[in-house]
Amino acid sequence: MAIAFCEEERGIIKHSYGKPYKIPVIPHEPWQKKPIPIPKSILPQFIELFREIIHTGLYEKSTSSYNSSVFCVAKPNGKLVIVHDLQDLNKVTIKDAGLLPNVDEFVRSFSGRACHRFGDIMGGYDERELDIISTPLTTFETPLGRLQLTRIPQGATKSVAVYQAQMTWILQGEIPGHLGILLDDGGIKGPRSTYQHKTLKENQLIRQFFWEYSVTLEGILFRIEEAGLTISGSKFACCDPALDIVVHVVSFGGRNISKKKINKIQNWPRPTTKKEVRGFLGLFAYVRMIIKDFSQVAAQMRRLKREDLL
């Protein structure tokens, strides 16, 4: 099945599409970081979360000489998420030159489509195995003993580029005409025309544009299943007239800025540090098309960073 609704149904990429990944590192000494204390109020929930993840196969026992820290953050729904501190690993990792697609071009390619859909690859990075040479690099201490990751770690310096390249390779036959890939999200593109809502000769209840979209969707789901991957069933809807994608909402009528993002932009605090300026520019680059003389404003802010004026 290309669609999964629980962790037990989640797939792992076949080795014919992606062999267990080796993290390239420079010569270095193993690091040992002390565990970050976990508040007693959430410790039982924290431990239970580890048990659940061990059951999925994402964690396994470790005896390596490395040790990194882990901590947890709460989602809006109250559930805890484990975060791995990979700063030491990132310092010794050989960087990847791979780049993400140009966001403006990516969004524009979805505009003016009769219908769309975004599919979320279930587990994302967790569907690509780590080579046994690299798993010790991810070791961390827990109340249940020392564990290590068995899949590509989120937060690692190469993970984004590696995952983007992997998904592009698997779905290359559908790109760019029928699909756009941005990490673990795949945007499915419908036809450029509604054909004035004409129906099929063979079945007057099915519109031509929807039939063409359905054929495209079937082909994409086949490629995903063939590679061993799965789409999150809880986040997947077969077809939508409009799509919320990378700060924008696209539809047959064009594209606009998402209302949720407009509220966020309007309430964005005035940047006063280099880090805040970087965050400001990163967000506003997505909506540059509606900001007059954006390049001139951005150039002045970049100058502030370069000349240490903050």
290 and 157 part of one domain: no
User: Is 184 inside any structural domain?
Assistant: yes
Of 116, 121, 156, 93, give the one whose Cα is nearest residue 244. 116
pLDDT digits (tens, 9 = 90+) for 279-302: 888 777 777 777 788 888 788 878
276 and 232 part of one domain: no
239 and 277 part of one domain: no
Number of structural domains (the chain) is: 2
Specify the CATH number for the domain of residue 251: 3.10.10.10
Structure tokens given for 26: 């420079």
User: Is 263 inside any structural domain?
Assistant: no
50 and 98 part of one domain: yes
Of 268, 221, 261, 230, give the one whose Cα is nearest residue 244. 261
Q: What is the percent of the chain where pLDDT is above 70? A: 95
* Residue partners of 35: CB distance under 8 A and separation at least 6: 69, 70, 140, 141, 142
pLDDT at 153 exceeding the cut of 60? yes
User: Is 262 inside any structural domain?
Assistant: no
60 and 143 part of one domain: yes
Pairing of strands 248-251, 145-149: unpaired
Among 235, 257, 279, residue at a domain's last position = 257
* Res 284: pLDDT: 76
The model carries a pTM of 0.82
* Least-confidence region, from 98-102, 164-168, 170-174: 98-102
Give kind and range of the element (H or E) at residue 107: helix 103-108
Question: If you average pLDDT over every residue of the chain, what do you get?
Answer: 88
Within a 10 A sphere around the Cβ of 5, how many other Cβ atoms?
14
User: Is 203 inside any structural domain?
Assistant: yes
54 and 196 part of one domain: yes
45 and 90 part of one domain: yes
- CA–CA separation, 82 vs 53, rounded Å? 10
Of 94, 41, 38, 36, give the one whose Cα is nearest residue 67. 36
pLDDT digits (tens, 9 = 90+) for 198-246: 999 999 999 999 999 999 999 999 999 999 998 888 878 888 999 888 8
184 and 289 part of one domain: no
Structural domain span for residue 275:
268-306
Mean pLDDT along residues 119-148:
89
